[in-house]
Amino acid sequence: MVARRHLLTVSRRIETGRDGVNAPVYADQDQGQIWAGRVDLSDAEKQAEGQNVARRVARFSMRFNAVSQAIAVSDKLGDQDGRQWQVTGSTEDPRGNRRAMLVTAVEDSGRGAA
């Protein structure tokens, strides 16, 4: 299967200040953009990943660089189609040589906090 190329925006939720009752106020801040290939996971792969959800789960492959290396589980990926993906894991490509990163993410339905 050939992975389609997607331009992803990596965003991270950060504390921007405090409100009137001293509760933290959060906002998403863009960390950078990166090109990635996307392959949707099959049902068997979803179960192996522990993702028993009725949402789309995908694995993104991208070049190893400062942006991809800094991706964390708390981050979100936004693609050019307007979809938001919640990162569930990331690892270096098992082939080694720090050439690529593999990031697994669940499509964010936009209903409530992820």
Give 17's strand partners.
Answer: 25
- Residue 40: predicted pLDDT: 86
CA–CA dist 31, 11 (Å, integer): 5
Quote the tokens at residue 89.
Answer: 């894991």
Q: Where are the domains of the chain?
A: 1-12+27-37+51-59+67-114
Handedness of CA 44, 49, 55, 60 (dihedral sign): negative
In this structure, the number of other CB atoms found within 10 A of the CB of residue 38 comes to 21
This prediction's pTM: 0.75
The tens-digit pLDDT sequence of the chain (114 residues) is: 445 688 999 999 999 999 999 999 999 999 999 999 998 887 655 555 565 556 788 899 999 999 999 999 989 999 988 899 999 999 887 776 778 899 999 998 765 444
